[in-house]
Amino acid sequence: MRRGGAPSAGVVCPSGTARIGRESSSSVESARGKLSMMRIAMRLAALLALMAATALPGPSQSNPDLRTFFRQNIGLSEDQISAIRSGQPVAVTLPSRTPAEVLLFGAVYIHASPETYFQYARNFDRLREVPGFLALGVFTVPPQLSDLRGFEFDSDDIQALKDCEPGNCRIQMPATSIEELHRSINWSAADVNEQVNHLLQETALELLLAYQREGNEALGAYNDKRDPTAVPEQFAYLLSYNNALPEHEPDFYHYLLAYPHGKPANYEETFYWTKVKFGLKPTLRIEHMVTMRGSPADPVAYAIAKKQLYSSHYFRTAVDLSICVRDTDHPKQPGFYLIQALGSEQAGLTGLKGSIVRKTAVGRALSNLQKALAAIRTTLEGNP
């Protein structure tokens, strides 16, 4: 599981002498990846437009600009807009242009300081207790192999890897990783599980270190399906809509695109991995969390992005955005709007069977987002 090939936001499996996730793609495949992510970017443009809206004074129910954003950009009704301000969580799906694209939008008003959400979002001990989280690890600075203890495939995934071929594999990975896996692993050995997971952890570490040096260019392409998914350009297109925020917080999105170059002083970042029960399979993910702290005078108190670098199943690419908007209409009372957008491109949602899966998966995700917003509000208002 060493590294090889060209970039992809999410390839943490075997890859010999070549970098993990750095599988070369043809210009046709690259163009396909660009067009695919462009569609997701157009959906997330709605969220980015919010940043421009929130730079206007008084982002509250009485602010016509915020109401206009909710109504025109997101498609909320007046009842939904009023519900947000009254502390009721509202979650909706935004239109997607392909079955693989999923974008959820949610918002709730919270009677607490924005700083409470900042602490909440970065509390990994809390996250470990969330149902469905099987394991979680935070990388040290600099990252080291011991940080990945517990980052392991289960026995079913390892058995599936034995039969992997480029274009036909149950685990998301590049072709070079699949080839490296078959070269490096003794499948008849008693310790085959340990061999695979050690190789996985080494490759995951190499991917992260390469990303920290080179940014998005260190990510690669998935070759587990017939049509490769090139991811390097996808983040660029996803974050290219800063024309929606001409002079309001453009550095936040620029840094996500230009990482690791030009980090502003008011930014913090954390790298972590999770093993989560999504659908039928435990899924390994590596994520980059970037937090922007606004000044006391800024309407946006915090902006937090969780950028997926790798997922073993389901998610081809994903970016979760959270924005804490101060309630400047009521300066004597702590309060803010928590606005979230969860954007992803997922495998297995196309075709007749995929359409059934999509309906169920999106419905569950929407319900989970609404419940999560309600739980966050309850927690933060109980611990102001």
Q: Identify any residues that bridge with 344 across adjacent strands, giving them in sequence order.
A: 102, 318
Tokens of 242: 């800063």
CA-based nearest residue to 110, from 88, 140, 132, 139: 88
Choice between 354 and 84, residue whose per-residue pLDDT is larger: 84
pLDDT beyond 50 at 217: yes
CA distance to 142, 207, 210, 286, 319, per residue, from 204 (Å): 14, 5, 10, 8, 19
Determine the pLDDT at residue 372.
Answer: 94
SS (H, E, C) 90-141: EEEECCCCCCCEEEEEEEEEECCCHHHHHHHHCCHHHHHCCCCEEEEEECCC
Choice between 144 and 356, residue whose per-residue pLDDT is larger: 144
Q: Which helix (H) or strand (E) holds 271?
A: strand 267-278
DSSP strand pairing (90-93 vs 221-222): unpaired
Residues 308 and 9: their CA atoms lie apart, in Å, by: 7
Residues 51 and 122: their CA atoms lie apart, in Å, by: 22
Strands across the sheet containing 300-311: 90-93, 101-110, 336-346, 315-326, 300-311, 281-293, 267-278, 133-138
Q: Report the largest interatomic distance among the alpha carbons of the chain, rounded to a whole angstrom.
A: 68
Residues 199 and 185: their CA atoms lie apart, in Å, by: 9
| Angle, helix 155-162 to helix 192-214, in steps of 10 degrees | 90
Tokens of 290: 């970037």
Please, which pLDDT band fits residue 228 given cuts at 50, 70 and 90?
low
Tokens of 276: 């989560």
Lowest mean per-residue pLDDT among 113-117, 294-298, 330-334, 335-339: 330-334
Determine the pLDDT at residue 353.
Answer: 83
Q: Which pTM was predicted?
A: 0.81
* pLDDT single digits (tens) 156-203: 999 999 998 888 989 988 777 888 888 999 999 999 999 999 999 999
Determine the pLDDT at residue 250.
Answer: 66
Tokens of 140: 């040290």
Look at the alpha carbons of 70, 72, 77, 82 in this order and tell me if their dihedral is positive or negative. Answer: positive
Percent of the chain with pLDDT over 90: 43
pLDDT beyond 90 at 285: yes
Determine the pLDDT at residue 281.
Answer: 85
* pLDDT single digits (tens) 66-81: 777 788 878 899 999 9
pLDDT beyond 50 at 6: no
Query: How large is the average pLDDT for residues 26-47?
Result: 42
Determine the pLDDT at residue 86.
Answer: 94
Query: How large is the average pLDDT for residues 229-247?
Result: 52
SS (H, E, C) 133-176: EEEEEECCCCCCHHHHCCCCCCHHHHHHHHCCECCECCCCCCHH
Number of residues in the chain:
384
Q: Identify any residues that bridge with 339 across adjacent strands, giving them in sequence order.
A: 107, 323
pLDDT beyond 80 at 249: no
Residues 299 and 302: their CA atoms lie apart, in Å, by: 9
Q: Identify any residues that bridge with 302 across adjacent strands, giving them in sequence order.
A: 293, 324
Choice between 248 and 68, residue whose per-residue pLDDT is larger: 68
CA distance to 105, 140, 243, 244, per residue, from 366 (Å): 9, 33, 28, 25
Cβ count within 10 A of residue 146: 10
Q: Are 231 and 10 in contact (CB under 8 A)?
A: yes
pLDDT beyond 50 at 62: no
